[in-house]
Amino acid sequence: MSASPVTLMVARRVASGRYHDFNRWLNEGRDLAADFPGYLGSGVLAPPKDDDEYQIIFRFSCSDTLNAWEHSASRNAWLQRGKGLYNAPHEHRATGLDAWFQTSSGTAPPRWKQAVAVWLAFFPISLVFQWVFGNALADWPMFPRVLASTLMLTPVMVFVFIPLSMRLLAPWLAGKWSLLDIVARWRHEHRT
C-alpha cells in the first residue's frame, strides 16, 4: 500500500457541442468521488480558449483508496453515462509533489522550476492575506496566527492558485518558453 497521496490526472477533450452536458457530468463525478474513503480533493483545469482539452485531477490518500474508487460500480456507471461527451481520454497517475508538475509524457520539470512556480502562486495570495487579515491577527500569539493563516490559505492554494500557476507557466515548465516569453504573451493577451 502506498503511504503517499496519489493523484489521478485525466485529460478529456469535450465533444463538439457538448460543453454544458460535459460540465454537468464532470461535477457529478467529482461529487461521487467525494463520497469515497480516502478522497482528498479534485480539481479541473479548463483549457485555453483555443483548445478543448480539460485536465481533471482526483487525489486520494493512497493507491488502495484510489483503486477502490476507480474499480467501483458507481464510477463505472458514471463513466458509462459520460459516453459521447468527450473524446480521447488520457490518464496518468502520480504521487507526491511531482503530481502537480508531471506532463502527459510523464516527465516533471527541474525542482528549481517547481519551486519558482509554487512561489509565484504563494507570494501574491500571501500578500493579499496579510493586507486583509494582518492587522486583525497581529495581536494573536504566533501558533494560532500561523494555524489560522495556513488553514485559510492551503485550500485556496491547492485548488485555485497552484493549478492556475501550473497552467500559466506550463510552456516554461516544459522548457518550451522562457519566462520572458510568458510575460510577453500575457501582456499581449491583456492589452486593451
Report domain extents, the chain.
6-101, 111-189
Alpha-helical (H) ranges within the chain are 19-34, 63-70, 73-81, 98-101, 111-137, 142-156, 162-173, 179-189
Q: What was the pLDDT predicted at 78?
A: 92
Cα–Cα distance for residue pair 187/184, rounded to 1 Å: 5
Question: What's the whole-model pTM score?
Answer: 0.50
Residue 77 confidence (pLDDT) above 90:
yes
Cα–Cα distance for residue pair 132/128, rounded to 1 Å: 6
Q: What was the pLDDT predicted at 91?
A: 64
Q: What was the pLDDT predicted at 163?
A: 76
Share of the chain above pLDDT 70, in %: 84
Residue 1 confidence (pLDDT) above 50:
no
The average pLDDT across 122-137 equals 87
For the domain spanning 6-101, the CATH number is 3.30.70.100
Cα–Cα distance for residue pair 141/147, rounded to 1 Å: 10
Inter-residue contact 34 to 90 (CB < 8 Å): no
Lowest average pLDDT, out of 5-14, 57-66, 135-144, 175-184, goes to 175-184
Question: Which residues are CB-contacts of 121 (< 8 A; sequence separation ≥ 6)?
Answer: 157, 161, 162, 164, 165
Q: SS3 for 125?
A: helix
Range 33-49 burial, b when 16+ CB lie within 10 A, else e: beebebbbbbbbbeeee
Between residues 165 and 104, which one has the greater pLDDT? Answer: 165
CA neighbor of 165 nearest in space, from 101, 95, 103, 98: 101
Inter-residue contact 62 to 40 (CB < 8 Å): no
Inter-residue contact 44 to 55 (CB < 8 Å): yes
Question: Which residues are CB-contacts of 119 (< 8 A; sequence separation ≥ 6)?
Answer: none
Average per-residue pLDDT for the chain = 79
